[in-house]
Structure 1
Amino acid sequence: MSDSTKYILAVDDEPSMLRLLEISLRQAGYQPLTARDGREALEVINAQQVDCVVTDLHMPRMDGLQLLKEVRKTDTELPVIIVTAQGEIGSAIDAMKNGASDYILRPFDLAELELAIKRALSFSRLVVENRFLREDKADTTGLIGNSPAMQHLAESIRQVAPEKATVLVAGETGTGKELVARAIHAASPRNNALFVAVNCAAIPHEMLESELFGHEKGAFTGAVKERIGKFELADGGTLFLDEVTEMPMQLQAKLLRALQENVIERLGGNRPIAVDIRVVAATNRNPRDAIKDGKLREDLYYRLNVFRIDLPALKARKSDIELLATHFLAKRRVDISAQAVQVLMQYDWPGNVRELENVLERAAIISGNQQIQPQHLPAEMLNSNGEFIDATALGHNADTAEAPQNPLCLPNAVEQLERQLIAKALAQTNGNKSKAAKLLEISERSLWYKLSQYGIS
Structure 2
Amino acid sequence: MEKLLIIDDDKGIQKQLKWSLSDYEAVLAGDRESAIAAVRRYEPKVVTLDLGLPPDEANATEGLAALQEILTIAPHTKVIVITGNDDRTNALKAISAGAYDFYQKPIDADVINVIIARAFSVSVIEEENRKMRQVAGNDIGIIGNSEAIDRLRMMVKRIAPTQITALLLGESGTGKEVTANAVHIASERSNKPFVAINCASIPENLLESELFGFEKGAFTGAHRATKGKIECAEGGTLFLDEIGDMPFSLQAKLLRFLQEKTIERLGGRQEINVDVRVVCATNQNLEQMVKDKTFREDLFYRVSEITLNIPPLRDRDEDVLILAQYFLQMYALEYKRNVKSFSEDGLSAIKAHKWPGNIRELQNKVKSSVIMTTGTQVTAFDLGFFDHTSTEFELSLNLRSVREKAESLAIQKAYALAEGNMSKAAELLGVTRPTLYSLIEKYDLTINET
* TM-score bracket for this pair, using the shorter chain length: 0.5 to 0.7
Match of 2:127 in 1: 120
SS at match of 1:107: helix
Shift of 1:354: 1.2
Match of 2:366 in 1: 360
CA distance in 2, matches of 1:101, 1:178: 40
Alignment equivalent of 2:389, drawn from 383, 387, 390: 387
Instruction: Give the conservation status (yes or no) of the 8 Å contact 1:140–1:157.
Output: no
CA deviations 1:105-163 (Å, max 9, x no partner) are 9527989956742433433663x689x97xxxxx313x332222222222222222222
For structure 1, the residue ranges without an aligned partner over 5 or more in a row are: 1-6, 23-33, 134-138, 391-397, 400-457
Instruction: Give the conservation status (yes or no) of the 8 Å contact 1:153–1:311.
Output: yes
Query: Which amino acid is the alignment partner of residue 351 of structure 1?
Result: G
CA distance in 2, matches of 1:370, 1:114: 13
Q: CA RMSD in A?
A: 4.2
CA distance in 2, matches of 1:111, 1:145: 29
CA distance in 1, matches of 2:18, 2:242: 61
Evaluate the alpha carbon distance shift between residue 101 and residue 245 of structure 1 in structure 2; reply closer, same or farther with a 3 A threshold: farther
SS at match of 2:279: strand
Evaluate the alpha carbon distance shift between residue 157 and residue 61 of structure 1 in structure 2; reply closer, same or farther with a 3 A threshold: farther
Evaluate the alpha carbon distance shift between residue 227 and residue 338 of structure 1 in structure 2; reply closer, same or farther with a 3 A threshold: same
Is it true that 1:345 corresponds to 2:351 in the alignment? Answer: yes
TM-score computed with the length of structure 1 as normaliser: 0.65
> Which has the larger Rg?
2
Instruction: Give the conservation status (yes or no) of the 8 Å contact 1:55–1:82.
Output: yes
CA deviations 1:353-385 (Å, max 9, x no partner) are 11112122222333357643232232xx333xx
Match of 1:80 in 2: 77
Evaluate the alpha carbon distance shift between residue 174 and residue 120 of structure 1 in structure 2; reply closer, same or farther with a 3 A threshold: same
For structure 2, the residue ranges without an aligned partner over 5 or more in a row are: 7-13, 55-61, 103-111, 396-450
Deviates more, 1:366-375 or 1:66-75: 66-75
Shift of 1:230: 0.8
CA distance in 2, matches of 1:233, 1:110: 58
CA distance in 1, matches of 2:358, 2:63: 39
Instruction: Give the conservation status (yes or no) of the 8 Å contact 1:168–1:309.
Output: yes
Shift of 1:285: 2.0
Shift of 1:43: 4.8
Match of 1:190 in 2: 189
SS at match of 2:177: helix
CA deviations 1:36-85 (Å, max 9, x no partner) are 4587785577569x7x834445599799976663355456xx64345689
Shift of 1:201: 0.6
Instruction: Give the conservation status (yes or no) of the 8 Å contact 1:198–1:240.
Output: yes
CA distance in 1, matches of 2:95, 2:307: 44
CA distance in 1, matches of 2:285, 2:89: 53
Match of 1:311 in 2: 310
CA distance in 1, matches of 2:272, 2:158: 30
Choose between structure 1 and 2 for higher RCO, CA contacts under 8 A separated by at least 6 residues: 1
CA distance in 2, matches of 1:337, 1:90: 29
SS at match of 1:220: coil
CA distance in 2, matches of 1:89, 1:329: 32
Shift of 1:350: 0.9
Instruction: Give the conservation status (yes or no) of the 8 Å contact 2:52–2:63.
Output: no
Q: Percent of aligned pairs with the same residue?
A: 37
Deviates more, 1:229-238 or 1:281-290: 281-290
Evaluate the alpha carbon distance shift between residue 93 and residue 151 of structure 1 in structure 2; reply closer, same or farther with a 3 A threshold: farther
Is it true that 1:301 corresponds to 2:300 in the alignment? Answer: yes
Is it true that 1:53 corresponds to 2:53 in the alignment? Answer: no
Query: Which amino acid is the alignment partner of residue 209 of structure 1?
Result: E
TM-score computed with the length of structure 2 as normaliser: 0.66
Query: Which amino acid is the alignment partner of residue 302 of structure 1?
Result: Y
Instruction: Give the conservation status (yes or no) of the 8 Å contact 2:80–2:100.
Output: no
SS at match of 1:268: coil
Evaluate the alpha carbon distance shift between residue 218 and residue 388 of structure 1 in structure 2; reply closer, same or farther with a 3 A threshold: same
Match of 2:140 in 1: 140
Q: How many residues align?
A: 358
Instruction: Give the conservation status (yes or no) of the 8 Å contact 1:64–1:82.
Output: no
Match of 2:383 in 1: 377
CA distance in 1, matches of 2:203, 2:22: 67
Match of 1:440 in 2: none
